[in-house]
Amino acid sequence: MGWSSTPWAELARAKLDHALPADQARLVEVQVGDARRLPELLADLSAQVDLVVTSPPYACDTGMIDKPAWQAGQPLCPKDTLNYSRDPANLGRARGEGWRAGIGEVLAGCAHLLRPGGLLVTVTKNTRRDGRLNDLAAATVQLTGQAGFEYLQHLVALHAAIRDGGLVARPSFWQLTQTRKARARGEPAHLVVHEDVLVFTKPLRVGAGA
């Protein structure tokens, strides 16, 4: 489920059609809607779902890099790619308490859809800005607890390529830039080169979560 912009939904559909045999691809439905309204959008799935995998926005500035345009004097990221959407309601634009409230609604909706014992997997990333680390992994653990989930596992997904049998770090351009700036200011910053994959479960007994 994605935000209201259909290019991403169309891309998801095209990827599914590419990756799956036709008889399986036919079974998959791509729906577009606001993930803060999951109980309404998927009302017939209440307490039926085994697994939810979600990667909500990371509460940081983002955009699609267009290097040739940038070399020709244009902005590095075209405006319509900034923070996923120009729509102020897109959670990609939310920061601080607004982000926490929005993600809290998404997680409450996930809890509503999952069957007891069902799994929630979130993909998130700690980012750095102006020398400060935004610990989204910790925030996600806290918010899922508030939504009634139990924490199971933290997996580290490296941003790396394998070259000549060894791992080569592939950090994001933004993280590299922020870390270089912090080090130039004399701050001993580490470069974040991974995403945090967090696994939670909806407790079997009501009220058994945090």
Ligand X SMILES: C[S@@+](CC[C@H](N)C(=O)[O-])C[C@H]1O[C@@H](n2cnc3c(N)ncnc32)[C@H](O)[C@@H]1O
Reported as type and span, the H/E element at residue 182 is helix 173-184
Of residues 64-123, those binding ligand X (CB under 6 A): 84-85, 90-92
Is the CB of 58 or the CB of 149 nearer to ligand X? 58
Residue 29, Cβ density class (10 Å: 0-12 exposed, 13-18 middle, ≥19 buried): exposed
Pair 122, 55: CB distance under 8 Å: yes
Is residue 36 at the binding interface for ligand X, with CB under 6 A as the rule?
Answer: yes
Interface residue with ligand X, options 35, 49, 107, 182 (CB under 6 A): 35
Stretch that binds ligand X, among 30-38, 40-48, 73-81, 171-179 (CB under 6 A): 30-38
Q: How far is the CB of 204 from ligand X (least distance, A)?
A: 28
Dig out the tokens for 26 from the structure: 């036919």
Is the CB of 12 or the CB of 160 nearer to ligand X? 12
Q: What are phi and psi of 47, to 5 degrees?
A: 60, 25
Q: How far is the CB of 23 from ligand X (least distance, A)?
A: 25
Q: Which amino acid is at 89?
A: A
Residues 6+ apart with CB under 8 A from 27: none
Question: Applying CB under 6 A, what is the total number of residues that bind ligand X?
Answer: 16
Of residues 40-69, those binding ligand X (CB under 6 A): 55-58
Is the CB of 103 or the CB of 119 nearer to ligand X? 103
Cα-trace Rg, the chain:
19
Give contact residues for ligand X (rule: CB under 6 A): 1-3, 8, 34-36, 55-58, 84-85, 90-92
